[in-house]
Amino acid sequence: MDGRRCVAAASPWLCGTGSGLQANSPASYPEPVTVKRLVARDLSFDGIRAEFALPAEFGADAQRDAAQAVDRHHAERVDRTDLGLVTIDPPGSRDLDQALHLERTANGYVVHYAIADVSAQIEPGSALDAEARRRGETIYLPDGSVPLHPLVFSEGSASLLPNEIRPAALWRIETDNDANPVSWSVERALVKSVRQLTYGEAQDAADAGNPHPAIAVLPEFGRKRRDLGLARGAIELNLPEQEVVRGSAGDWELAIEARTETDGWNAQISLLTGICAARIMLDGGIGMLRTLPPADGDVRRWMRRTAEALGVPWMKDTPIGAQLAALDPGATTTLAMMTQATTLLRGASYLVFDGARPDDQAAQHAGIAAPYAHATAPLRRLGDRFVTEICLALSAGNAVPQWAREGLADVRSSLLSSNTLANKVEQACVDLAEATILAPQKGQTFDSAVLRGAEKKRAAEVFVTDPPILARCEGDPPEGRRAKLALREADPDTRSVLFGFPADGS
């Protein structure tokens, strides 16, 4: 997920309602689809903005810096406007961080990945720099974002908009035929995107056998990168997005949007770049990694226990990621297993190092099964600006600028705080929409898939299929099965929703 929309991981797969299923019976579900339901005409997120003290406007000095931003490294750039790059983003996006050109060669593939060169356009120590360090990242709400940078910069002069020549940090990654990287570098360049695609447009073109030439081999390359990740032990949860969006008539809607294959293929390019960035920084002895500790034994045992309870084959010596990838995406048991697997990916942080290479275990991102760095979204995430600057210097054999070296610790602190805040805001928006849509339906019965049963003081987790909502449930509904539930609480003021089992209250 690129974080451009107000979303929350509602469930690993979107489930259809099904018409011929009996309550409490095992169930299969059709292919993921988009489901939308009216929430309200007057839904307001102003209270959430106030509750979390989200900043409204940028100061005059930061606005001036953004409007007057210039490329301090223009003289040293190579001209690569010949590449014919394309961007792939959600509909309506204007803060375009990345542009891609991918080609097959006699020995493998060459990836050219242009990243907006934000650090070249923000003066260290300026008001714009200070404001971005305070904000940490762009925070998205359904009625508008709280951006990391003023829009004149992030959606204007610094964005890789189509048919505009822009300064970029241009990655060149060569791989073998299996998509293993064999060489990588990054340099300052001038680039031009020739087309802005949405995920849907890119997917439709691929399905029709008429992809844009810049990404014609993206499907095969993305699949190979995914297979390499699974072989390493990476864990991929194909979670659809739960969104609160404004409909064409101005009504608010709650939607579950299944990911396209293009989402995954495109994500593999960013992951590959982040892996290469980590290697550059580890070899150079300075940088900031995105880290995730391995799941502890209790979590792994719980995964095996859940599989046994659901009748899902579970092999002790097979990596968890490979086992999850092999599950039937249409089965309720897979829904329960994928949801449980989110516990494997807790504890993400950032590791700053300078002067000594961290040990291999500390440098690992367990979900990716490799050292990894956030490096591809500098318009929307503060740390990527610093990581990119470090990689540019090390790749060129130059000293890392002092501002980038000295700022790492503070940047890490800012990112940890903003990550927490963004997650809370995102969830609050979805919770408000859910409670609002359900408030008039208190006491009614809903069909659901039970993702996790109740345990000790923890309520069960259920996925209600219509409207698409992940919620808590009192009682002891049967894990991994369908169940009829009663809506017992839906309060927009507290943003809380609670179901009960059995539906008749007996």
Q: What is the pLDDT of residues 258-302, one digit of tens each?
A: 678 899 999 999 999 999 999 999 999 999 999 999 887 777 777
In a domain, 362, yes or no: yes
Whether 447 and 419 share a structural domain: no
Quick count: other Cβ atoms within 10 Å of Cβ 372? 24
Give the per-residue pLDDT at 244.
84
Whether 65 and 192 share a structural domain: yes
Structural domain including 467 reads 442-500
Q: Are 434 and 497 in contact (CB under 8 A)?
A: yes
Give the per-residue pLDDT at 478.
87
Q: Phi and psi of 245, rounded to 5°?
A: -130, 155
Give the per-residue pLDDT at 198.
95
- Inter-CA distances, 348 with 39, 249, 332, 365, Å: 33, 40, 28, 8
Whether 353 and 495 share a structural domain: no
Please tell me the distance from the alpha carbon of residue 129 to that of residue 94, in angstroms, as a whole number: 21
In a domain, 448, yes or no: yes
In the predicted model, residues of the chain with pLDDT beneath 70 are: 1-38, 238-242, 256-258, 309, 329-333, 335-336, 506
Give the per-residue pLDDT at 330.
61
Whether 200 and 286 share a structural domain: yes
Give the per-residue pLDDT at 114.
98
In a domain, 336, yes or no: no
Instruction: Kindly state the tokens that stand for 91.
Output: 């509909």
Whether 183 and 246 share a structural domain: yes
In a domain, 358, yes or no: yes
Domain end point (choices 427, 456, 477)? 427
In a domain, 20, yes or no: no
Please tell me the distance from the alpha carbon of residue 70 to that of residue 157, in angstroms, as a whole number: 9
Q: Domain count of the chain?
A: 2
Whether 366 and 472 share a structural domain: no
Whether 446 and 416 share a structural domain: no
Whether 354 and 466 share a structural domain: no
Ranges assigned E (strand) in 90-236: 98-104, 109-116, 139-141, 144-146, 165-175, 181-198
Strand partners, 255: 36, 243
Whether 485 and 423 share a structural domain: no
Torsion of CA 440, 444, 446, 452, to 10 degrees: 90
Q: Are 98 and 115 in contact (CB under 8 A)?
A: yes
